[in-house]
Amino acid sequence: MSSSGQLHKAGLSSQSGHESPLLSLRTPPAVRTDSQPVPAQALLSDLRQAALDSSYISLGGRRTASVHEFYRYPARFSPRLARSAIEAFTNPRDLVLDPFAGGGTTVVEAQNLGRHGIASDINALATFVTRAKTTLYDEGALDTLRRFANEVHNLPLRAGRALESHWNESGYWFNISDKYSWRIRNLLLNGLRMVSNLESDGARLLGRCALLRTGQWALDMRRSIPRVAEFRAQLARDIVSMADVASDHRERVLAEWGRAEQPIVIDRGLPASIDHPTVKSAKPPQLILTSPPYPGVYVNYHRWKVRGRRETPAPYWIIDQIDGHGMSHYTMSARNRDSLRLYFIKLRAAYEAIVSIMSAGTWLIQIVGFKDGGSDMSDYLALMHDLGLEELKPPILATADDGRLWRVVPGRRWWVMNGSNSQSESQLSREVVLVHRKR
C-alpha cells in the first residue's frame, strides 16, 4: 500500500482528499516489534484506547507497581496515556517537554521509552516529586533506605524540643497538631530527622519522598487518622517497596539507554521556564505533552485535606521547601468566573512562551477539562488559534460529534468547584485530548 493509502486507512486524510496536516510534516513513527513496523493507525488507536481507559491510576498505599505511585499528585493523567502519546508522536532520542509537570508522568515515560525529557513546574512539590521519581538511585543508597525501614518500626513518638521549630511558627503544621493528628506529625518529624542523617543525597531524597507518600496516606482525604503502629508499619512497607521499584526503574532505564539518563527538572513556571539555559540550548521538542490548570476549576495542588476540608501545607515541610503562595498561584487564578479574565491572561503568556520554542514539526498535546464546556472551551481554543496554533482532529481518535477525543476521569475526588452544580460536576468528570501544531 502507498504512503497516502496508509494515511487514508488510518483516518488521517483530510476531507478534501489531500494528506491530513496531522501528518504532512512527519508521520507518527513506526515502532518495530519483531522487525515489523506498527503502522500509524495502530499507534493512534493505542492512544485512543489509553485515553479511554478508566482504570484507577494509583491504589495509594495498597500498591507500588512503578515510580508513578511514589506520590498521588492531584489531577494527574495515566502513564498509559503518556506512553501512548510519546510512542505515537516521537522516535527514540527525541525531546519531550512538559511545562506543567505535576507528578512527572510525562518525563517518567519519556525516560522509560528512550526519549530525552524536560519537566518544569511552578510548584516546588511537583518538581520534588518528579525528581524523586526520575532519579536513578545507586544500590548503595537503596540499601541504606532498606536498613532505615527496619528502624522505623521503633520510630519515636515523643518530639521534645524539636517541636520548637520555625516550621511550626510559619504555619506548616496547621491542622496536623490537634488531638487527632499530632501523633502523625511527631512521627513524621522524627522520621525527617532520621532521613536527614542518611549518608547519601539519593537516600535522603527517596527517604523524604517515602515520608511524603506515607504522610499523604495517613492524612490526606481521610476522615479517620491511622494509629501509631499502623503508620510505622505502612512507612516501613512504603520504604521497602519504593526502594525495590526504584531499583527496577534504574535497570530498565540503563537497559534502554545504555547509560544513566535522567530528565532535566526545572523549578520554574511559565513563561520563565522557557528562558532556562537548558531549554534555550536544547533542540526544539518533538512533543509537548502536558495538562495545564483548567479554567474555572479548583484543584488543591498545594495542600492536603485533613479530616474533611481542613487544609494543611504540611507537604512543603516534609520536602523542606517554602510555600509562600495561595491557590491562585498554582491554578492561574482559575477558581471562579471573576478570575477567568486573569486566567486567560496568564494562559496567553504561558503559551506564547511555549509556541516560541516549537518548530514546524513539534506536536502539542494537551489534556484539559472545562467547568463550562461551552464558553470556556471556546475561549481556550480561540487563544490557541490566536497564538498561531492549528487544532487537528484525526477521525481515528474521535469519540464525539465534535471530532475530538473525550475521556471520562475515574475517582475525581480532588475536585471541589466554586459554585458547583450537577451539570458542572458532570462536565468536569470528562477531559478532552487536544492536538495542535504550528500553522
Question: pLDDT class for 411, splitting at 50, 70, 90?
Answer: low
Q: How confident is the model at residue 36 (pLDDT cuts 50, 70, 90)?
A: very low
Q: What is the pTM of this model?
A: 0.87
Residue 424 maps to a domain:
yes
Of 47-61, 77-91, 154-168, which has the strongest mean pLDDT? 77-91
Q: Which of 12-16, 37-41, 60-64, 260-264 has the highest mean pLDDT?
A: 260-264
Are 112 and 82 in contact by the 8 Å Cβ rule? The answer is no
Query: How many structural domains compose the chain?
Result: 2
Per-residue CA distances from 290 to 53, 99, 397 (Å): 18, 7, 18
* 276 and 131 co-located in one domain: yes
69 and 120 in a single domain? The answer is yes
Which CATH number does the domain housing residue 123 bear?
3.40.50.150
Is-contact 212 71, C-beta < 8 A?
yes
Q: In this structure, is residue 32 part of a structural domain?
A: no
203 lies in the same domain as 104: no
Residue pLDDT, tens place only, 298-338 = 677 788 999 988 999 999 999 999 885 655 555 555 455 56
Q: Which of 24-33, 61-70, 320-329 has the lowest mean pLDDT?
A: 24-33
Length of the chain: 439
- Give the end of a domain, one of 252, 287, 308: 252
- Cβ(86)–Cβ(107) below 8 Å: no
Reference 295, options 187, 120, 432; nearest CA is 432
Please say whether the beta carbons of 254 and 328 come within 8 A: no
pLDDT tens digit string along 347-381?
999 999 999 999 999 999 999 988 766 788 999 99
Residue 263's CB is within 10 A of a number of other CB atoms, namely: 25
**Residue in the structure block whose three cell numbers are 536527614:** 196
Residue-wise pLDDT for 244-285, tens only, equals 999 999 999 999 999 999 999 999 999 999 999 999 999 999
Helix, strand, coil content of the chain in percent (nearest 5) = 45, 15, 40
Residue 413 counted as domain residue: yes
pLDDT top residue among 384 and 409:
384
Report pLDDT for 256: 98
Query: Cell numbers 513539534 label which residue?
Result: 362
Same domain for 276 and 420? Answer: yes
Q: Are residues 192 and 227 in the same domain?
A: yes
- Answer whether residue 326 is part of any domain: no
Together in a domain, 47 and 169: no
Do 387 and 283 belong together in one domain? yes
In a domain, 10, yes or no: no
Is the domain of 287 the same as that of 397?
yes
List, for residues 209-228, the tens digit of each pLDDT value. Answer: 999 999 999 999 888 999 99
Looking at the domain assignment, is residue 234 inside a domain? yes
Which CA distances in Å does 407 have to 65, 126, 332, 382?
24, 24, 23, 22
204 and 97 co-located in one domain: no
Task: Mark whether 276 and 393 lie in a shared domain.
Answer: yes
Residue 1 in this model has a pLDDT that exceeds 80: no
pLDDT of residue 151: 96
Q: Is the dihedral of CA 349, 353, 358, 362 positive or negative?
A: negative
Same domain, 367 and 406: yes
pLDDT at 119 over 90: yes
Q: Cα–Cα distance between 320 and 317 in angstroms, integer?
A: 5
Of 195, 226, 252, the domain-final residue: 252
Confidence (pLDDT) at 191: 98
pLDDT of residue 60: 55
Whether residue 323 is contained in a domain is answered as no
279 and 393 together in one domain:
yes
Residue 264: enclosing H or E segment and its boundaries?
A: strand 264-266
Position 308 scores a pLDDT of 81
Residue 100 located in a structural domain = yes
Task: Give the range of the structural domain holding residue 53, as residue numbers without chain letter.
Answer: 41-135+262-296+331-438
Mean pLDDT of the chain: 85
